Amino acid sequence: MGYIIWAMFRFSIGIIIPEVMQEWHLTEAEGGAILSSLLVAMAISMIFSGHLSDRVGRNVIMSAGFTILSAGILLGGYCVGYLTLLIFVFIAGIGAGTFTVALYAYAGDVVPTSRNTLIGITNSLYALGGLMGSWALAILTMKFGWRSPFNLMGLLAAVVSILLWRHLRFKQSGIEIRSKFMDKKWDFLNNSNVILLCASIGVANFVFVAFTAWAPTYLVRLHKFDLAEAGFALGLYSLTGVLGATFFGILADKISKTISILISGSLSFILALLYFSNYVGSASLIVLSGILGFTAFAFWNLAISAVQDCVDDTHMGSATGITQGIATISGSVAPIVSGFVITNYGFNLALVLSVALPQLIYLFLALKATR
Rounded to whole angstroms, the Cα distance separating 298 from 289 reads: 15
Between 53 and 89, the higher pLDDT residue: 89
3-class DSSP state for residue 140? helix
What whole-number percentage of the chain has pLDDT above 90? 34
Residue pLDDT, tens place only, 41-88: 988 898 888 888 888 888 889 999 999 999 999 999 898 889 999 999
- 186 — pLDDT class (breaks 50, 70, 90): low
Structural domains for the chain: 2-174+187-370 (1.20.1250.20)
Per-residue pLDDT, 179 = 43
Q: Smallest Cα–Cα separation from 232: which of 283, 194, 163?
A: 283
Does 188 score more than 80 pLDDT?
Answer: no
Listing DSSP states for 200-250 in one string gives HHHHHHHHHHHHHHHHHHHHHHHH---HHHHHHHHHHHHHHHHHHHHHHHH
Q: Residue 57 carries which side chain, given as an amino acid letter?
A: G
Residue pLDDT, tens place only, 287-343: 999 999 999 989 989 999 998 888 877 777 888 888 988 988 888 788 888 888 988
Q: Smallest Cα–Cα separation from 303: which of 233, 162, 223, 199?
A: 199
Rounded to whole angstroms, the Cα distance separating 159 from 335 reads: 31
- Tell if the pTM clears 0.85, that is, is over it: no
Whether 216 contacts 231, CB under 8 Å: yes
Whether 104 contacts 88, CB under 8 Å: no
